[in-house]
Amino acid sequence: MSDTLLRVENLHTYFHTRRGVVKAVDGVDFRVGRGEVLGLLGESGCGKSVTALTIMGLVPSPPGEVAGGRVLFQGEDLLSLSPEKMKTLRGGDISMIFQDPLSALNPVFTVGRQISEALICHGKTDKKGARERSVRLLNEVGIPEPDRRFDSYPHELSGGMCQRVMIAMAIACDPQLLIADEPTTALDVTIQKQILNLVHDLREQRNTAVLLITHDMGVIAENADRAAVMYTGKVVEEAPVEELFTRPSHPYTRGLLESIPDMERQMPRLPSIPGFVPNLLDLPPGCPFAPRCKYAEDACRAEMPERIHLSDDHSVLCRKPLMGTTA
């Protein structure tokens, strides 16, 4: 097992809304090793982005509140750092590619200026060297005519280009951890592939660890070493990708895998997981997946299961993990 860079322990992030408390992150645990890609997977609304924002110290408060847990980065709990220290870390040792690139870039400054400022503010270069280094970064992320693009404003670039600029900003200071929140959903397939190749190269060339957030199982299969599956604010299963795909133990993971279309198998209809994701304001008392689970027993509906460790690197939040391989 690689040396641990980030360890998230029993993390809780709540939002206090007029309708009640939304437990967006409700006891999340996972680890990311140095130079490793961990995929964070799960349906819309399960708490992936809020987990990322909590690690970055960017949960809006109010209405948000980090109600408990620890975020250990190189052994230090980020939740106890001062806002100033956290600001230095962000964009330095830890950086993030946001789900929506346009909202993350400042519309009133050129992209070159934004990259330059990230470099200067983290002491990577002085004002004189900033332009040259920024142009080199724009070139590295595959932006054509980088020298000319340095002077462009975000609105003058396509969605894919903005995504690349955000990656250039994110890697400018050689982060040890890159959080990529759905880096490809807004893009067409060829650009998606290029962006994922970029993330892959980063890891190869700089040994950057990546927390890759997506709801796309295919993206995880091709790009991650290990994966954590989230459901209603909890990690329900964590395992090396190959193991997760061949021996999924949580009924939810198995359901997700069964709903991937298989071009080689003729199936009259794609199986899907019956029922709906429960309302986070009104979670059932026991296992949150029990109402949709075909294996659920009375005990599952009555109390929250304990995490079971099937091996050193495979754990599952289920009273009766499924054994054996998928069909």
Residue nearest to Mg ion (CB): 49
Binding to ligand ATP by residue 170, rule CB under 6 A? Answer: no
* Cβ 179 to ligand ATP shortest distance, Å: 12
Binding mask 173-212 for ligand ATP (x = CB under 6 A): ----------------------------------------
Q: How far is the CB of 214 from ligand ATP (least distance, A)?
A: 8
Considering beta carbons, is residue 19 or 269 the nearer one to ligand ATP?
A: 19
Please report whether residue 232 would count as binding ligand ATP according to CB under 6 A.
Answer: no
Interaction of residue 46 with ligand ATP, rule CB under 6 A: yes
Among 13, 49, 116, 192, binds Mg ion (CB under 5 A): 49
Residue 50 as a binder of ligand ATP (CB under 6 A): the answer is yes
CB of 59 to Mg ion, least distance (A): 13
Nearer to ligand ATP, 131 or 234 (CB): 234
Tell me which residues in 67-126 interact with ligand ATP (CB under 6 A): 99
- Say how far apart CA 94 and CA 170 lie, in whole Å: 8
Return the one option of Mg ion, ligand ATP, none that residue 167 interacts with (CB less than 5 to 8 A, by type). none
280 binds, among ligand ATP, Mg ion, none (CB under 5 to 8 A by kind): ligand ATP
* 3-class SS string, the chain: CCCEEEEEEEEEEEEEECCEEEEEEEEEEEEEECCCEEEEECCCCCCHHHHHHHHHCCCCCCCEEEEEEEEEECCEEHHHCCHHHHHHHECCCEEEECCCHHHHCCCCCCHHHHHHHHHHHCCCCCHHHHHHHHHHHHHHCCCCCHHHHCCCCHHHCCHHHHHHHHHHHHHCCCCCEEEEECCCCCCCHHHHHHHHHHHHHHHHHHCCEEEEEECCHHHHHHHCCEEEEEECCEEEEEEEHHHHHHCCCCHHHHHHHHCCCCCCCCCCCCCCCCCCCCCCCCCCCCCCCHHHCCCCCHHHHHCCCCEEEEECCEEEECCCCCCCCCC
User: Closest separation between CB of residue 16 and ligand ATP, Å?
Assistant: 8
**Shortest reach from residue 283's CB to ligand ATP, in Å:** 11
Q: Which of 55/143 has CB closer to ligand ATP?
A: 55
Residues engaged in binding ligand ATP (CB under 6 A)? 15, 17, 22, 24, 42, 44-50, 60, 63-64, 99, 215, 280
